[in-house]
Amino acid sequence: MAKQRGKLIVISGPSGAGKSTVVFKALEGRSDCCFSVSATTRKPRPTEVDGREYFFVDPDRFKEMIANDELLEHAEYVANSYGTPRAYVEKKLDEGMNVILDIEVQGALQVHEKMPEAILIFFIPPSMEELEKRLRGRGTDSERKIQARLYRAKEEYALADFYNYIIVNDDADVAANEFSAIITAESCKFEDRKFYLSEV
């Protein structure tokens, strides 16, 4: 039987909203999804490994990736560049895998325009106070970075009206179930599966 092409799933939302936490929880036991690893000019955090969380590159290499059209989208975020390598995404979608991009709003808009079939999910914390608490609790950002991220969060909310879904990450288990349910429902769309009708 022919294989269904994978879905491109874009997740965004303020840094610290809990995207990684929720998505990792949701993907336990799901073998139909994979993560795209972005390139960034940001310096690695102590626990981050090159090629796992990000491909850490210098600004010249990042410019070269743009010039060679190696990136599906790219954007600036709090004084660093971030972008999605295109080749991996295309390969995995062709193999039938759902590919998850964790990217900010400007990049998500570029994906929405280039690939309108992409599913866009916006994650938010239950409140700005809770977001600040989580950013401090994570302990990976300086006070200046935390303030910049909180400011950027408010800017992103104002630009998010092209997303398809919102997940409020209050209880991480509930949010993970919602995320998984969206992927499952989107994968069952008639339009994407009608080719089965002629095969059975």
Q: Which helix (H) or strand (E) covers residue 56, if one does?
A: strand 54-56
User: Residue 120 contacts by C-beta under 8 Å, 6 or more apart in sequence?
Assistant: 10, 12, 108, 111, 112, 162, 163, 164, 165
Rounded least distance, CB 101 to ligand ADP, Å: 13
In degrees and rounded to multiples of 5, residue 48 shows phi and psi of -85, 145
75 versus 176: smaller Cβ distance to ligand 5GP: 75
**Interacting residues with ligand 5GP (CB under 6 A):** 12, 15, 38, 42, 73, 75, 77, 82-84, 102-104, 107
Rounded least distance, CB 75 to ligand ADP, Å: 16
Q: With CB cut-offs between 5 and 8 Å by kind, which of ligand 5GP, ligand ADP, none does residue 77 bind?
A: ligand 5GP
CB contact at 8 A, 138 and 146 = no
**Interacting residues with ligand ADP (CB under 6 A):** 15-21, 134, 137-138, 169, 171-172
Q: With CB cut-offs between 5 and 8 Å by kind, which of ligand 5GP, ligand ADP, none does residue 75 bind?
A: ligand 5GP
Q: With CB cut-offs between 5 and 8 Å by kind, which of ligand ADP, ligand 5GP, none does residue 38 bind?
A: ligand 5GP
CA distances from residue 51 to 36, 39, 56, 181 in whole angstroms, order as listed: 10, 9, 8, 29
63 versus 127: smaller Cβ distance to ligand ADP: 127
Task: Retrieve residue 158's tokens.
Answer: 């104002």
CA separation for the pair 107, 195 (Å, rounded): 32
Three-point CA angle 119, 22, 94, nearest 5°: 40
Rounded least distance, CB 19 to ligand 5GP, Å: 7
Rounded least distance, CB 196 to ligand ADP, Å: 36
Rounded least distance, CB 22 to ligand ADP, Å: 6
Task: Retrieve residue 20's tokens.
Answer: 């990684």
Q: With CB cut-offs between 5 and 8 Å by kind, which of ligand 5GP, ligand ADP, none does residue 89 bind?
A: none
